[in-house]
A = this chain, B = another copy of it.
Amino acid sequence: MTKIDDVARLAGVSTATVSRALRGLPTVSAATRRRVLAAAEQLEYAVSPSASRLAGGRTGTVAVVVPRITRWFFGVIVETVEEFLHQAGYDLLLYNLGGRERIRQRVLRTANLHKRVDGIMLVATPLRPADLTALGALDLPGVIVSSGTGVPGWPCVRIDDVAAARTATRHLLDLGHRRIAHISGDPDDELAFTTHLDRRRGYRDALRAAGLHPDPSLDVESQFTIDGGTRAAEELLRRGDPPTAIFAACDEMAMGAMTALREAGLRVPQDVSVVGIDDHDLAGALGLTTIAQPAAEQARLAARLLLDPLGGRVLDPLAAPAGDGPPGIPVILPTRLVVRESTAPPRAH
């Protein structure tokens, strides 16, 4: 493999000049740069990342940490960030936590990310005090997407989960529902994150604002998955006196709940209305009413907030968004209610 010395020799300059020319530093004459570029091309020279990192201290790599890439929201985030990062010349190191607590520790504790990346994107990642200490010790720039815990000095991009849940619940209230169940995340989950707490709060807020008392027997905790939604809905039905409507904390849970309802012989929305949050790819196919959240926009904005301080050569920078506050103050992106066929007024008794 050709190395920088070969290029230097062919171009008739020093390796320092080759290095400068190839990286586009301004302190190189146009003629020299041309010669260097030609030589590099002719030799098909590619810089050695390890050597460049060791000497220069930059890794050109960003770590992206998600709970489960197979969930719709996280898939969209990673896909969008990947494009953005590669356009900006960065590599993407993927960490899929997948509920494996030990791996999560390994990722977040100093050792693994140490000197491995220039920046970190944490998506819906729950942080304990020890994690925060470890991240602080890393002394790297980072960005938070979608709630989870905040890190001092890191910007955060998210939606207003409380408001989204409130809107979903109010939609059901407006249709005339009074027995509205809620399916949400399991606080005992090792990877519990704050999202489900906020969404439960919005649900309760909306009920109270309508003069209703949240009924604990209508509030079921489960996993943020299709299966979790199915099991939660089964549990609800087992309790007897089923609700006339269900607000699930995410679309995947809502879809799982729809399956359970159908298996139980209940029709959606005639017998039970269902609403979720996300606007999942398949929400349309299933006719699911939901609160749409802008996943790709959150990803793009977060990537930009991360790369800007890194001096990333972003090819297609976004216009500065209105809500683009200083680091630490979360940037809140808007959500919107999308009414489909899974919600309707309750049947008259």
Could you tell me which A residues sit within 8 Å of B by CB distance? 1, 44, 46, 48-51, 53-54, 59, 64, 68-70, 72, 75-76, 78-79, 82-83, 86, 91-96, 98, 100, 103, 106, 110-112, 114-116, 226, 230, 255-256, 258-259, 281-282, 284-286
Contacts and interface: CB of A to CB of B under 8 A. Distances in A.
Contact of A1 (B51, B75, B115, B226): B115
A269 to B, nearest CB: 15
Nearest to A139: B1
Contact of A226 (B76, B98, B285): B285
B59 A68 contact: no
Given A70-B281, A78-B96, A226-B285, 9 more contacts: A1-B115, A49-B53, A49-B116, A68-B79, A69-B82, A82-B94, A91-B93, A230-B285, A286-B286
A242 B292 CA distance: 34
Given A79-B96, A83-B100, A114 B46 contact: yes
Nearest to A258: B285
Contacts of A92: 93-94
A93 B93 CA distance: 5
A137 to B, nearest CB: 9
A12 B83 CA distance: 48
A48 B115 contact: yes
Contacts of A226: 281-282, 284-285
Interchain residue pairs A-B with the least CB separation, the first 9: A50-B53, A50-B54, A46-B111, A70-B75, A259-B285, A46-B114, A94-B94, A82-B96, A48-B115
Counted per complex, copies of this chain come to: 2
Given A95-B82, A282-B282, A286-B285, A50 B59 contact: yes
A78 B69 contact: yes
Given A96-B78, A98-B79, A46 B1 contact: no
A76 B75 CA distance: 11
B76 A70 contact: yes
A69 B75 contact: yes
B46 A110 contact: yes
A297 B98 CA distance: 17
A79 B69 contact: yes
A65 to B, nearest CB: 11
15 contacts: A1-B115, A44-B111, A46-B111, A48-B114, A48-B115, A68-B79, A69-B69, A75-B75, A79-B96, A86-B103, A91-B93, A91-B116, A92-B94, A226-B281, A286-B286
Q: Most chain-B Cβ atoms within 10 A of its Cβ — which of A79, A110, A255, A286? A: A79
Contacts of A59: 50
A227 B1 CA distance: 45
Contacts of A76: 70
Contacts of A284: 226, 259
Nearest to A116: B49
Q: Most chain-B Cβ atoms within 10 A of its Cβ — which of A1, A111, A115? A: A115
Nearest to A225: B281
B54 A285 contact: no
